[in-house]
C-alpha cells in the first residue's frame, strides 16, 4: 500500500469544503442574475476554506471597500503584509482578453501601486490563473492555472470530480506558497516560454539533430542554414497555418506522433533508472578481487591458527 503524502492528506481534508463550494459555484453559474460581487464573495470564501489562507495560519483577506477606487478586489496578507492580490471578474468573463482593461493589465497596475508584491491571481470564479509579476519586461507570466469546470464544461460535484479538482488547484494552495512551489513554477514557465523554446529549437545543436533525423527519414542531407530558416518559418506560422489543408485528422496524426515520442522518452528514462539500479547493486570486478583476496587470507589465517 502506497504511503500517503502531505498533498494527499491536505486534499483529503479539503474534500468536504470543496464539495460545498462547488455546489455554491454551480448555483452561481446557472443564475443569470449573478453579479460580480457575488463571485467575489464566493472567491474570498474559497481562498480561505479551500486554498488554506486562514486566520489561524496568520492570513487575512482584505476586500475592496469602495468600487471605483484604484484597488484590487481582494488582497491576501500574511502577518499584515500583502503577499498577493486577486482580481475577480464576472462569471463567464474571458480571462485571456488582451485589451487595456483586461484583468491581467489591472493586476499589473495594482501591484505597481502596492509595491513589493510579486504574485497576482485572476479569476472569474471557475477559472483561476496565477501570475508572476517580478519581471516587468514580460508584463506578468502565467505560471499556474485551473478550471473548476470539467472538460464537458460543467461543474462536477461527484466524489471523484471533487477529488480531481482538489488536486488540480493544489498549486495555488497555501502549502504550495509556503514551500516555494511558486518560484519553481515561475522558473518552469520561463524555461518553457515560447521565446525560450523557440531559441532552443533554433539552436545549432538542435538543428543538427533535426537534420540527422530528416536524413534518416527522407535520405536527404539538409543544409543547416536553410533548415534553420524553415524551422523559424514553421514556428512563426504555426502548424495550422503552415500545413496546407490542416484539419482535425492532420492534427490527430501529429498528436499521435507526439504521444509516441513521449512514451519512448519514458521508456528511455525507465531503462536508465533500471541500469543505474543494477550498477549500484553490482559489485565492481576490482572489488570482487579484493573481497576474494581478503577471504583467502582469512581462510589461510584460520587454518594456520588451527
Judge if 177 and 245 occupy the same domain: no
Judge if 143 and 269 occupy the same domain: no
Judge if 133 and 236 occupy the same domain: no
Judge if 210 and 185 occupy the same domain: no
Chain segment 119-148, per-residue pLDDT in tens: 999 999 999 999 999 988 888 899 999 999
Judge if 184 and 206 occupy the same domain: no
Q: How sure is the predictor about 99, in pLDDT bands with cuts at 50, 70 and 90?
A: low
Helical pair 6-30 and 159-168, crossing angle rounded to 10 deg: 110
| Neighbour count for residue 231 (Cβ, 10 Å) | 16
Q: How sure is the predictor about 291, in pLDDT bands with cuts at 50, 70 and 90?
A: very low
Supply the pLDDT for residue 106: 86
Judge if 175 and 216 occupy the same domain: no
First CA to last CA distance, the chain: 52
In this structure, the chain runs to a length of 306
Q: Please tell me the distance from the alpha carbon of residue 173 to that of residue 302, in angstroms, as a whole number.
A: 66
Has residue 168 got a pLDDT over 70? yes
Judge if 84 and 184 occupy the same domain: yes
Supply the pLDDT for residue 69: 60
Residue at 299 is within a domain: no
CATH number at residue 111: 3.90.1570.30
Tell me the average pLDDT of the chain. 87
Residue at 294 is within a domain: no
Q: How sure is the predictor about 238, in pLDDT bands with cuts at 50, 70 and 90?
A: very high
Judge if 185 and 266 occupy the same domain: no
Q: Who has greater pLDDT, 293 or 306?
A: 293
Q: Are 231 and 202 in contact (CB under 8 A)?
A: yes
Q: Which of 157, 191, 225 is the last residue of a domain?
A: 191
Supply the pLDDT for residue 224: 95
Angle, CA of 37, 38 and 43, to the nearest 5°: 95
Q: Which of 191, 216, 248 is the last residue of a domain?
A: 191
Domain ranges, residue 274: 202-289
Q: How sure is the predictor about 306, in pLDDT bands with cuts at 50, 70 and 90?
A: very low
The pLDDT > 90 percentage for the chain reads 64
Residue at 277 is within a domain: yes
Residue at 302 is within a domain: no
Cβ neighbourhood burial of 118 (10 Å; 0-12, 13-18, 19+): middle
Q: Who has greater pLDDT, 195 or 287?
A: 195
The set of cell numbers assigned to 17 is: 469544503
Chain segment 49-67, per-residue pLDDT in tens: 999 999 999 999 999 765 5
Supply the pLDDT for residue 276: 73
Judge if 82 and 184 occupy the same domain: yes
Residue at 22 is within a domain: yes
Chain segment 218-232, per-residue pLDDT in tens: 999 999 999 999 999
Residue at 211 is within a domain: yes
Supply the pLDDT for residue 116: 86
Judge if 121 and 43 occupy the same domain: yes
Q: Please tell me the distance from the alpha carbon of residue 19 to that of residue 38, in angstroms, as a whole number.
A: 18
Chain segment 257-270, per-residue pLDDT in tens: 988 988 888 877 66
Read off the pTM. Answer: 0.78
Cβ neighbourhood burial of 43 (10 Å; 0-12, 13-18, 19+): buried
Chain segment 174-186, per-residue pLDDT in tens: 999 999 999 999 9
Judge if 35 and 143 occupy the same domain: yes
Helical pair 204-218 and 224-237, crossing angle rounded to 10 deg: 100
Residue at 72 is within a domain: yes
Place of cell 488547484: 169
Q: Under DSSP, is residue 38 helix (H, G, I), strand (E, B) or coil?
A: helix
Q: Which of 156, 191, 226 is the last residue of a domain?
A: 191
Q: Please tell me the distance from the alpha carbon of residue 239 to that of residue 245, in angstroms, as a whole number.
A: 10
Q: Are 111 and 85 in contact (CB under 8 A)?
A: yes
Residue at 1 is within a domain: no
Q: Please tell me the distance from the alpha carbon of residue 100 to that of residue 106, in angstroms, as a whole number.
A: 8
Q: How many domains does the chain have?
A: 2
Judge if 62 and 117 occupy the same domain: yes
Q: Please tell me the distance from the alpha carbon of residue 303 to that of residue 70, in angstroms, as a whole number.
A: 93
Amino acid at each position: 500500500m502506497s504511503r500517503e503524502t502531505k498533498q494527499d492528506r491536505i486534499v483529503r481534508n479539503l474534500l468536504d469544503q470543496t464539495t460545498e463550494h462547488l455546489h455554491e459555484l454551480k448555483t452561481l453559474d446557472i443564475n443569470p442574475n449573478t453579479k460580480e460581487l457575488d463571485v467575489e464573495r464566493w472567491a474570498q470564501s474559497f481562498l480561505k476554506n479551500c486554498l488554506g489562507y486562514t486566520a489561524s495560519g496568520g492570513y487575512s483577506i482584505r476586500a475592496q471597500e469602495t468600487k471605483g477606487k484604484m484597488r484590487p478586489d481582494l488582497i491576501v496578507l500574511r502577518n499584515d503584509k500583502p503577499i498577493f492580490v486577486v482580481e475577480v471578474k464576472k462569471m463567464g468573463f474571458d480571462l485571456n482578453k488582451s485589451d487595456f482593461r483586461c484583468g491581467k493589465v489591472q493586476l499589473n497596475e495594482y501591484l505597481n501601486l502596492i509595491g513589493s508584491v510579486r504574485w497576482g491571481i485572476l479569476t472569474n470564479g471557475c477559472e483561476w490563473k496565477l501570475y508572476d509579476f517580478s519581471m516587468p519586461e514580460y508584463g506578468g507570466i502565467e505560471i499556474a492555472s485551473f478550471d473548476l469546470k470539467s472538460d464537458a464544461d460543467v461543474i462536477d460535484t461527484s466524489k471523484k470530480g471533487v477529488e480531481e479538482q482538489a488536486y488540480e488547484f493544489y498549486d495555488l494552495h497555501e502549502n504550495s506558497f509556503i514551500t516555494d512551489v511558486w518560484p519553481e513554477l515561475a522558473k518552469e514557465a520561463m524555461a518553457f516560454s515560447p521565446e525560450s523554446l523557440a531559441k532552443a529549437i533554433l539552436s545549432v545543436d538542435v538543428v543538427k539533430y533535426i537534420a540527422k533525423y530528416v536524413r534518416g527519414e527522407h535520405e536527404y542531407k539538409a543544409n543547416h542554414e536553410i533548415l534553420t530558416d524553415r524551422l523559424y518559418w514553421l514556428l512563426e506560422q504555426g502548424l495550422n497555418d503552415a500545413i496546407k489543408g490542416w484539419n482535425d485528422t492532420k492534427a490527430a496524426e501529429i498528436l499521435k506522433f507526439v504521444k509516441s515520442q513521449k512514451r519512448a522518452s519514458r521508456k528511455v528514462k525507465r531503462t536508465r533508472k533500471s541500469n543505474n539500479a543494477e550498477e549500484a547493486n553490482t559489485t565492481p570486478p576490482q572489488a570482487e578481487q579484493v573481497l576474494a583476496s581478503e577471504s583467502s587470507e582469512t581462510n589461510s589465517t584460520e587454518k594456520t591458527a588451527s
